[in-house]
A and B are shown apart, each in its own frame.
Chain A
Amino acid sequence: MKHYLRMELKRAFWNRRLLPALIFGFGLSVWHCFAYIVPLRGWIFAGVYPLSAYNRWLGGEYYSLQSTLFYLLVPIVCALPYGDSWLCDCAGSIGGQAVIRGGKRPFVQTKLLVSFLTGALIAVLPLLFDFALTSAMLPAIVPKAGLGLSPISTKSLLGDLFYAKPFWYVLVYLGINGLFFGSLNTLSIAAGLFTANRYMAILTPFFCYMALHCAGTTIQRFELCPSGFLRPCQQFITTWVILGAEVMGIWSFGVFAAFRYIREEHGMR
């Protein structure tokens, strides 16, 4: 598999669609900072209010437009640079040329791995940047339970960690974001099973994300909605079981697609 990695990583991280994907995330982060964080500095200098970076960064709140936009559109943005690569390979000759040199199974495995990495990094890096930016402007005061300043409660996922070691909470939650959005991004590769349209492939992770959201809100089971529970501020509170089940469900589709691609008889060009 590793002989394909260099080729696929270069394709994923050295293409013209990576830039708009990163501009989206980092742009929202900078916009969020100027719209919400910079004005707060006056309050801090006046010593009025115990503001903490942990409650104000892009993932730490759910009321700003930037935060809403980010968690709404990030599945599309993650799939933008690499999501249609399987379909492009099948339609062009690069897939066949690669497969005859290194085999199909490692090629498909590499595709899934690289789409996972692309999704994870494009989702997490802007959040990490925003947290750093916010921390540079607001004090990182350790949140105190019971003050009502934070939406996270003891029922929340990792709620205890948030009040004990908030920095670790942020890192672990960003890891969860990376895991989920990376997994979700593999659906764009798996989408090649039922569509030959590259735009459909890019949009498939978003449709799945929205389907989970709509299903959760319709049956009033908000813990199923990734757009809510993936926010580190936990707009909706989920459980490890639901989180694990959703990630496993997504991966099972990816693995099924990989199996079908490998077994496919009519192959690539």
Chain B
Amino acid sequence: MILKIENVTKIIQGATVLNQVSLCMESGNIYGLFGRNGSGKTMLMRAVCGLIRITEGKITIDGAQQWKDFSYPDGLGMLIETPVFLPDYTGYENLRLLSCIKKEIKGEDIRKSLIRVGLEPNDKRNTRKYSLGMRQRLGIACAIMENPRLLVLDEPFNGLDADGCEQVKHIILEEKQKGALIILACHNREELENLSDTIYKVEQGRFSTFTDGQK
């Protein structure tokens, strides 16, 4: 998969949140986005996921243009900001309901995803009673459960304890090994450098400079 972002601009109520962004990303790599709050990381991720329409420019995946040939990337898994699920259902039920839309995976796959992120599939508690960290884990399970080819993770370490962070790092690397294209935004530069193949620095909607990660 080759994801090309060409001259993408997004203007919301007169404010330019993405300014002429051009990036090229390939499968099997992790691309880190680093920048201050409100710099445009999440907005770019939302644009790639198809959750917002860009004002100018184009986003293509393997030559197919978004909003022309497709609306939402095929094989997309995403976690954008703190996940909030249906409060009256268990974690498993939430994922089961979402999996019914595409019908690509079975209950056993969902259980495996939950175990991968350190959640108990048979937990009878509703997500209303989940802690922030548990909700975050569930969000990650939701993103990876359908074996995504494009994985967009915005602050995946939010609210996680040390063990949780290690588990998520391990999952991200596993998904990379499977050949997924991973876009990762994180405030912790050290973690980002450890994980990413390429890091983009984001400032006021511009992705003007980038640094190569340690890998």
* A2-34 to B contact mask, C-beta < 8 Å, 1/0: 011011001100111000000000000000000
* A83-108 to B contact mask, C-beta < 8 Å, 1/0: 00000000111101111111110000
A2 to B78, CA, bound (A): 23
Range, interface on chain A: 20 to 34
**A92: chain B residues within 8 A (beta carbon):** 83-86
Tell me how far the C-beta of B61 lies from the nearest C-beta in chain A, rounded to whole angstroms. 13
Name the segment of B19-27, B99-107, B183-191, B204-212 touching the other chain: B99-107
Is B97 located at the chain interface by the 8 A CB criterion? yes
A266 to B50, CA, bound (A): 10
Which residue of A4, A96, A98, A265 contacts B80 across the interface (Cβ within 8 Å)?
A96
Interface pair B86/A93, CB less than 8 Å apart: no
Interface pair B102/A3, CB less than 8 Å apart: yes
**B86: chain A residues within 8 A (beta carbon):** 11, 92, 94
A5 to B52, CA, bound (A): 24
Q: Which residue of A lies closest to B84 (CB)?
A: A92
Tell me how far the C-beta of A247 lies from the nearest C-beta in chain B, rounded to whole angstroms. 30
Within 8 A of A (CB), among B135-153: 139, 142
Which residue of A10, A11, A101, A266 contacts B52 across the interface (Cβ within 8 Å)?
A266
Interface pair B100/A93, CB less than 8 Å apart: no
Is A268 located at the chain interface by the 8 A CB criterion? yes
What's the count of A-B pairs with C-beta under 8 Å? 77
Q: Which residue of B lies closest to A95 (CB)?
A: B51
Within 8 A of B (CB), among A58-95: 91-94
Is B120 located at the chain interface by the 8 A CB criterion? no
Interface pair B88/A97, CB less than 8 Å apart: no
Is B71 located at the chain interface by the 8 A CB criterion? yes
Is B171 located at the chain interface by the 8 A CB criterion? no
Tell me how far the C-beta of B66 lies from the nearest C-beta in chain A, rounded to whole angstroms. 12
Is A249 located at the chain interface by the 8 A CB criterion? no
Interface pair A100/B72, CB less than 8 Å apart: yes
Which residue of A14, A94, A267 contacts B98 across the interface (Cβ within 8 Å)?
A94
A247 to B84, CA, bound (A): 35
Interface pair B53/A265, CB less than 8 Å apart: yes
Interface pair A101/B84, CB less than 8 Å apart: no
- The CB with the most chain B CB atoms within 10 A, among A3, A7, A100, A268, is that of A100
Is B49 located at the chain interface by the 8 A CB criterion? yes
Is A269 located at the chain interface by the 8 A CB criterion? yes
A97 to B51, CA, bound (A): 10
Is B201 located at the chain interface by the 8 A CB criterion? no
* A198-239 to B contact mask, C-beta < 8 Å, 1/0: 000000000000000000000000000000000000000000
Chain A contacts to B: CB under 8 angstroms: 3-4, 6-7, 10-11, 14-16, 91-94, 96-104, 265-269
Which are the 6 A-B pairs with shortest beta-carbon distances?
A: A92-B84, A101-B101, A267-B51, A102-B101, A265-B53, A93-B83
